[in-house]
């Protein structure tokens, strides 16, 4: 390439970067204005709210389940406002990026432009799309991806879903017509289930079921979510087990104070077990994508969510139940993103049924005792909760290992060596440690493309939680104090030896939970 071509290419790249910067400034400014307007229009911020199960995340109480008196959160936590503050900070950081003094146009220099582009990517926040009803007229042939950034949900692009009239040409006497090839029920938008639930929308699907939105005509068109279990023996048994767990949790919490999703009732429809739940708005994975992509949520939101998740763990511990799949995808929030509920108990079990398996819990949220094959208890959920909370604050996965072996290495990079007493108790210890408890790191050789095992004798921590929680920001004292408390709580929840992990009762009494943030102290961020 000739020098002139290099210069032309360089100028073109700078112009592209300048355009990207300008477009994303406009995008964030629009979202900031929207969040500010929504925050100002929320009347429940201006007057003391009336307690209700949909607007009050935690109610003061002194029952036998907990010794912690908890007061109303709504007066000190406004999701839209605190996220608008965090977005303002991101804009300030971008505006503080130095420009090339030699450029009369203020264009970023060749070195600074890529850095600014990385900052923009980190601060990218999507405008949340409202939930729309599905109609037959809106259906388009499109591949469904429930994890896409922007999903146009309609009756034709989701598995196991059919629009009205789509079955007119089918033989209704054949049972197979109601299910697809994998046993998912073919939901027809507009059909009525159990003579009372009018289906109007599709929420998503998982391994065990698909979920629809419906209106309960028997309860004044109350909006509900209906989980329809797949029609096969294994899934049916799993669904009945989940039903038993949900009933036990609901019975132990009749006043709905401990943040486990409420089951209203269940019924059977064309050989499918159907469970009717309260309707929530988003899961925390979606909240992160829409409001905190790569930058995370405000510490005030994280504090509130931490408290509510720990209360859900307390209820499960009282009932002797392990969730075994806590992650952002399985935690739901209501429309104003204040009330939180733990959901999806399809992997849950009683403490007596804790079978040793190295693949329990989604990998990124899997505790070290599971990987090693050490007998486990409720502490696996405490570990998963801690990893989830880190992700909520930073927007990044704490331990993104591709294998169980890599997961252990990433954990030790943060927490140091796994204690020998834990390693020796592990059923699967030989896969990861030698006889002297030295770590055996499995990796693929870049040259031969064959697996090689490296013995690591002195694996020392190389990552610092506080550094990762702070990122590149400089916080004012009140926020810094909360982040410091948050780091301390996470360190104690992420102890590699489950027997020495922070007891749940102490976690609920931790200063990060008990010391609340005032409205004035939740807005104080400035760029470095």
For residues 163 and 139, give the distance between their C-alpha atoms in angstroms, rounded to a whole number. Answer: 8
Residue closest to 116 by CA, chosen among 133, 99, 136:
99
Name the helix (H) or strand (E) containing 522.
Answer: none
Residue closest to 339 by CA, chosen among 57, 71, 42:
57
Output the 3-class SS for 508-521. HCCHHHHCCCCCHH
Which token pair is 323? 């969730």
Distances (CA, A) of 223 to 57, 183, 196, 277, 331: 19, 26, 12, 9, 19
Residue 413 CA to its chain's centroid (Å): 23
Residue closest to 336 by CA, chosen among 296, 291, 272:
291
Distances (CA, A) of 466 to 78, 393, 400, 482: 25, 12, 18, 12
For residues 157 and 219, give the distance between their C-alpha atoms in angstroms, rounded to a whole number. Answer: 30
| Residues with Cβ within 8 Å of residue 367, at least 6 apart in sequence | 361, 376, 379, 380, 383, 384, 498
Catalytic residue list contains 325: yes
Spot the catalytic one: 325, 329, 344, 381: 325
Catalytic site positions: 325
């Amino acid at each position: 390439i000739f020098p002139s071509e290099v210069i032309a290419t360089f100028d073109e790249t700078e112009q592209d970067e300048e355009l990207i910067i300008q477009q994303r400034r406009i995008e964030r400014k629009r979202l900031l204005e929207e969040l500010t307007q929504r925050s100002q229009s929320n009347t429940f911020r201006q007057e003391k709210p009336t307690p209700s199960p949909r607007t009050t995340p935690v109610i003061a109480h002194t029952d036998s389940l907990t010794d912690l008196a908890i007061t109303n959160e709504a007066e000190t936590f406004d999701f839209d406002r605190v996220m608008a503050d965090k977005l303002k900070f991101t804009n300030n950081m971008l505006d503080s990026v130095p420009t090339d003094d030699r450029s009369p146009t203020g264009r970023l220099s060749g070195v600074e432009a890529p850095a600014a582009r990385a900052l923009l990517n980190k601060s990218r926040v999507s405008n949340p799309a409202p939930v729309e009803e599905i109609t037959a007229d809106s259906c388009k042939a499109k591949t469904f991806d429930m994890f896409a950034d922007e999903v146009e949900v309609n009756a034709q692009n989701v598995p196991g879903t059919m629009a009205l009239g789509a079955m007119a040409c089918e033989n209704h006497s054949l049972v197979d017509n109601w299910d697809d090839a994998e046993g998912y029920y073919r939901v027809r938008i507009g059909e009525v289930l159990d003579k009372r639930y009018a289906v109007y929308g599709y929420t998503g699907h998982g391994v065990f079921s698909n979920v629809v939105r419906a209106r309960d005509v028997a309860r004044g068109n109350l909006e509900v979510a209906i989980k329809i279990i797949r029609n096969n023996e294994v899934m049916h048994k799993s669904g009945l087990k989940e039903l038993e767990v949900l009933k036990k949790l609901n019975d132990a919490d009749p006043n709905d104070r401990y943040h486990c999703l409420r089951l209203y009732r269940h019924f059977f429809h064309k050989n499918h077990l159907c469970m009717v739940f309260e309707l929530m708005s988003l899961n925390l994975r979606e909240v992160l994508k829409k409001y905190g992509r790569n930058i995370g949520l405000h510490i005030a939101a994280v504090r509130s969510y931490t408290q509510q998740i720990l209360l859900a763990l307390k209820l499960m511990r009282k009932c002797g139940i392990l969730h075994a799949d806590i992650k952002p995808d399985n935690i739901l929030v209501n429309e104003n993103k204040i009330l939180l509920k733990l959901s999806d108990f399809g992997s849950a079990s009683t403490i007596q049924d804790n079978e040793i398996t190295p693949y329990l819990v989604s990998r990124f949220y899997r505790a070290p005792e599971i990987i090693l094959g050490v007998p486990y208890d409720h502490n696996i959920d405490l570990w998963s909760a801690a990893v989830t909370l880190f992700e909520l604050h930073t927007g990044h996965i704490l331990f993104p290992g591709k294998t169980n072996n890599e997961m252990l290495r990433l954990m030790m990079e943060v927490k140091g060596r796994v204690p020998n007493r834990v390693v020796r108790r592990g059923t699967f210890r030989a896969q990861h440690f030698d006889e002297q408890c030295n770590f055996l790191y499995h990796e693929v050789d870049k040259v031969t493309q064959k697996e090689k095992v490296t013995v690591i004798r002195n694996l020392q921590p190389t990552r610092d939680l506080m550094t990762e929680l702070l990122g590149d920001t400089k916080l004012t004292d009140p926020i810094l104090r909360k982040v410091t408390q948050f780091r301390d709580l996470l360190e104690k929840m992420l102890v590699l030896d489950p027997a020495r992990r922070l007891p749940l009762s102490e976690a609920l009494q931790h200063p990060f939970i008990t010391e609340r943030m005032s409205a004035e102290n939740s807005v104080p961020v400035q760029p470095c």
